[in-house]
Structure 1
Amino acid sequence: MPTRILPAVGDADAVRSLTTLLSQLPDAEPLTPVADSTQLVDTLARLAADSVDELPEVVVVHERIGPVPALELIREVALRFPAVGVILVTSDASPGLFSAAMDSGARGLVALPLGYEDLASRVQAVAQWSTGVRRHLGRGSLEVYTGVGGTVVTVSGAKGGVGTTVTAIHLALAAQTSGHATALVDMDLQTGDVASYLDVQFRRSVADLAAVGDISPRVLADAVFRHDTGLALLLAPGEGERGEDVTDRAARQIVSALRTRYEVVVLDCGAQMSGASAAAVEMADTALLVTTPDVVAVRGAKRMVRLWDRLQIRKAEETTVVVNRHTRGSEIQPPLIQKITGTKVAGTAVPANFKELQGVVDAGHLHDLDGRSAVKQALWGLAGELGLVKVREGGHRAAGGRLRGDRGAVSLRRRSKGG
């Protein structure tokens, strides 16, 4: 059987030289190269969702891949797809980099300029390792071991006060109530209010995981607070200055660890972009941007979408806008918001009815919002639209509340980026 090799190279000249050499290797089947880190992870997730057997045996990562640095990308691939062997191609063949690459999960390193013999021997060794892992685990175990992981949903705000936290909490509650193991993360590191909305007193926070090099299941469990609703909460630090400890690299490791333990991971990213929230949005399967139907908020949404695009965090067409506090009489309706932002707009709009929320918000019991509430029905309907709610036999959703139809619902394993 030929060895499937997926090159991940951002430089056009490097692509040509690498694919030329790979095509000359015996029993090699080079796949279409991917140009950046997001495309690599998306491609592997899509292949694994169809069948684990579709995953390539070898991934070759060039040192100039971006926007995620090569070693961080290797760490994520190794964590999410452990039976895929990764080779790093680099101009720095020093013992220090070799050690760092191995610590990140690489199975081999090839020095630039590329040579046929060196590349051939590394590819052969890594392919044998990958094949051996898959044979040892067997088909049934492999699906569990590969840890393709849960669906990651980020919820960001066009500006402060548009309802980001309320949206994130109820999406997580809908997923948990329907039977999915769900984690809710407060990634609004300086001003996060998830703990206040759910009346939680806590000691540990997401900042406690920032300095941990290898987040084991036990370390993660120690940092997570188990809420009465069953939600696993990873909260923002009580001291806002500690949020600076959560770098983009730390955020990647935390999100990767969470998605291997939970079926659904919802992150409240707030309205201010940090390196950590940007990393989360980039890694997300679905990135939501919450806005209200007013000029200031919609302008804020447009600015955020353009910022994500300029920084190569997220393309506009991969972002889904959620319209909160919607009224039929508003001059700004969802189709106009879609046109202005260039994004998708969720089919479910959340109605304006703060009176329903005020009592439970003031009490810190947002989870006790009445199931008859139009706001709750819309938010849980949105969860169904995004595929976060399990569907029982006969097409009925397992989550409580009167949910809307099955429009747009997708399997968690489909992992359709951007919702």
Structure 2
Amino acid sequence: MPTRILPAVGDADAARSLISLLSQLPDAEPVPPVTDSTQLIDTLARLAAESVDELPEVLVVHERIGPVPALELIREVALRFPAVGVVLVTTDTSPGLFAAAMDSGARGLVGLPLGYDELAGRVQAVAQWSKGVRRHLGHGADLFGGAGGTVVTVSGAKGGVGATLAAIQLALAAQASGRSTALVDLDLQTGDVASYLDIQFRRSVVDLAAITDLSPRVLADAVFRHDTGLALLLAPGEGERGEEVTDRAARQILGALRSRYEVVVVDCGAQLSGAGATAVETADTALLLTTPDVVAVRGAKRTVRMWDRLQIRKAEETTVVVNRHTRGTEIQPQLIQRITGTALAGTAIPANFKELQGVVDAGRVHELDHRSTVRQALWALAGELGLVRAQEGNHRAGRGGRGLRRRKE
């Protein structure tokens, strides 16, 4: 059976040179190259969604890939697609770089300029390793994990619009449907997830920030297991420590969570940090919560434009959710959609604070009555986003709400 090899290189000349050599390898079947890290992850996720057997045995990552640096990209691939063997092509063949590449999950390293013998030997060895791993797993998608879990971020147009409550209820809905779910508080300075769930915790997301090898055991030690079954990764009790969670650390942490849980809900708050920006950029669906008032809608528009300017996320790839909606308000969801230029969730959350006051004051929002119209709307939103198992086959929201738009059309 031919060995499928996927080249990942951003430079056109380097790509031609690499593909030319790969085509000469015996029993090799190079597939069309990918030119950046986003395209690579999307391609692997699409193939894994069809079948684990559709994934290439070997991935050749050139050092000129971007925008995510090669070693970070290799780490993400190793976490999400562990049966794909990765070879790094680089001009730096020093022991230090070799060790860093192995720590990131690479199975081999080839120096530049490329030589046929070295490339052939390394690719063949990695291909044999990959095929052995797949035989060991028995081609079982349940062990492999495929494309990994779905990541949904919830951001607020401004403070106080209800982003944390929404994130908690979305996570609870997913968990209640039987999907393993993690809830991450990336509102690093002012996160309130712990307060809303009335829990005392010892570890937080900061404890993972400086760790380069996030093994399942290390991840489990930092996660708080709630009575509802939710896995919680909380914001630090000392807000100033939030600066320790860099964008690189956030990417690694979310990648590790994605590989372990079917659904990962991230509360990003209303203030943009490097970690929050990374979460929004890499999320399958990015929700922006707003209330139907002038100040909040202006905040939503400002946030959408900022994300676009910083190339975090395009407006059309962001989904606005309207909270505290009433039929009598002058600003209706369709107007908010036109103002922001975003996708619009089909479910609006009604204004009914009386339902919430008791559980919010007690810090037990997970005990919100199932007859509550707010809870019903948020759980319906979870279904609309494809987070609950019952609707998993029919509703899988694409990146930033593209799936929502397609369903409406």
CA distance in 2, matches of 1:62, 1:414: 32
**1:291/1:321 contact within 8 Å kept:** yes
Alpha-carbon shift at residue 17 of structure 1 (Å): 3.0
Q: Kindly tell me: are residues 334 and 278 of structure 1, through their superposed partners in 2, closer, same or farther at Cα, counting changes over 3 Å?
A: same
Q: How does 1:9-408 map to 2 (within 5 A)?
A: 9-140=9-140, 143-146=142-145, 148-391=147-390
Q: Share of identical aligned residues, percent?
A: 82
Alpha-carbon shift at residue 221 of structure 1 (Å): 2.2
Paired amino acid for 2:329: S
**2:348/2:377 contact within 8 Å kept:** yes
SS in 1 for 2:389: coil
Q: Kindly tell me: are residues 37 and 21 of structure 1, through their superposed partners in 2, closer, same or farther at Cα, counting changes over 3 Å?
A: same
**2:85/2:129 contact within 8 Å kept:** yes
Segment drifting more, 33-42 vs 44-53: 33-42
Segment drifting more, 239-248 vs 258-267: 258-267
Alpha-carbon shift at residue 179 of structure 1 (Å): 1.6
SS in 1 for 2:329: coil
Paired amino acid for 1:17: S
CA distance in 1, matches of 2:377, 2:224: 27
Segment drifting more, 39-48 vs 330-339: 330-339
CA distance in 1, matches of 2:129, 2:397: 28
Which runs of 5 or more residues in structure 2 are unaligned? 402-409
**1:52/1:143 contact within 8 Å kept:** no
**Cα deviation per residue 1:250-296 (whole Å; 9 max; x = unaligned)?**
22222222223322211101111212112222332222111222333
Paired amino acid for 2:51: S
CA distance in 2, matches of 1:176, 1:346: 21
**1:83/1:146 contact within 8 Å kept:** no
Give the TM-score normalised by the residue count of structure 1.
0.89
**1:185/1:268 contact within 8 Å kept:** yes
Aligned: 1:417 with 2:406: no
SS in 1 for 2:138: helix
Alpha-carbon shift at residue 413 of structure 1 (Å): 10
CA distance in 2, matches of 1:134, 1:70: 24
**1:151/1:412 contact within 8 Å kept:** no
Q: Kindly tell me: are residues 12 and 291 of structure 1, through their superposed partners in 2, closer, same or farther at Cα, counting changes over 3 Å?
A: farther
Q: Kindly tell me: are residues 221 and 319 of structure 1, through their superposed partners in 2, closer, same or farther at Cα, counting changes over 3 Å?
A: same
Aligned: 1:2 with 2:2: yes
CA distance in 2, matches of 1:387, 1:296: 30
**1:322/1:348 contact within 8 Å kept:** yes
**2:156/2:288 contact within 8 Å kept:** yes
Q: Kindly tell me: are residues 292 and 65 of structure 1, through their superposed partners in 2, closer, same or farther at Cα, counting changes over 3 Å?
A: farther
Alpha-carbon shift at residue 350 of structure 1 (Å): 0.9
**2:385/2:396 contact within 8 Å kept:** no
Alpha-carbon shift at residue 336 of structure 1 (Å): 3.0
Give the TM-score normalised by the residue count of structure 2.
0.91
Alpha-carbon shift at residue 106 of structure 1 (Å): 0.7
CA distance in 2, matches of 1:92, 1:311: 31
**2:169/2:366 contact within 8 Å kept:** yes
Q: Kindly tell me: are residues 91 and 414 of structure 1, through their superposed partners in 2, closer, same or farther at Cα, counting changes over 3 Å?
A: farther
Q: Kindly tell me: are residues 335 and 14 of structure 1, through their superposed partners in 2, closer, same or farther at Cα, counting changes over 3 Å?
A: farther
Alpha-carbon shift at residue 414 of structure 1 (Å): 5.6
CA distance in 2, matches of 1:308, 1:261: 28
Segment drifting more, 129-138 vs 305-314: 305-314
SS in 2 for 1:97: helix
CA distance in 2, matches of 1:146, 1:198: 29
Alpha-carbon shift at residue 146 of structure 1 (Å): 4.7
Paired amino acid for 1:94: S
CA distance in 1, matches of 2:163, 2:110: 45
Alpha-carbon shift at residue 415 of structure 1 (Å): 7.0
Matched residue, 2:406:
none
CA distance in 2, matches of 1:25, 1:309: 43
Alpha-carbon shift at residue 26 of structure 1 (Å): 3.2
Paired amino acid for 1:85: G
CA distance in 2, matches of 1:301, 1:232: 29
Q: Kindly tell me: are residues 340 and 374 of structure 1, through their superposed partners in 2, closer, same or farther at Cα, counting changes over 3 Å?
A: same
Paired amino acid for 2:133: V
SS in 2 for 1:5: strand
Alpha-carbon shift at residue 228 of structure 1 (Å): 2.2
Alpha-carbon shift at residue 103 of structure 1 (Å): 0.9
Segment drifting more, 17-26 vs 69-78: 17-26
Paired amino acid for 2:236: P
Alpha-carbon shift at residue 231 of structure 1 (Å): 1.6
Segment drifting more, 257-266 vs 381-390: 257-266
CA RMSD across the alignment: 2.1
CA distance in 1, matches of 2:365, 2:294: 28
Q: Kindly tell me: are residues 235 and 17 of structure 1, through their superposed partners in 2, closer, same or farther at Cα, counting changes over 3 Å?
A: same
**Cα deviation per residue 1:46-102 (whole Å; 9 max; x = unaligned)?**
211110000011112122222221111101101111110111122222221111111
CA distance in 2, matches of 1:160, 1:247: 22
Alpha-carbon shift at residue 378 of structure 1 (Å): 0.7
Alpha-carbon shift at residue 192 of structure 1 (Å): 0.1
SS in 2 for 1:60: strand
**2:137/2:143 contact within 8 Å kept:** no
CA distance in 2, matches of 1:57, 1:414: 27
**1:388/1:412 contact within 8 Å kept:** no
Alpha-carbon shift at residue 178 of structure 1 (Å): 1.6
**Cα deviation per residue 1:225-244 (whole Å; 9 max; x = unaligned)?**
22222222111111001111
**Cα deviation per residue 1:316-353 (whole Å; 9 max; x = unaligned)?**
33322211122223333333333333322111111122
The count of residues paired between Structure 1 and Structure 2 equals: 401
Which runs of 5 or more residues in structure 1 are unaligned? 392-408
Q: Kindly tell me: are residues 15 and 160 of structure 1, through their superposed partners in 2, closer, same or farther at Cα, counting changes over 3 Å?
A: farther
Q: Kindly tell me: are residues 297 and 51 of structure 1, through their superposed partners in 2, closer, same or farther at Cα, counting changes over 3 Å?
A: same
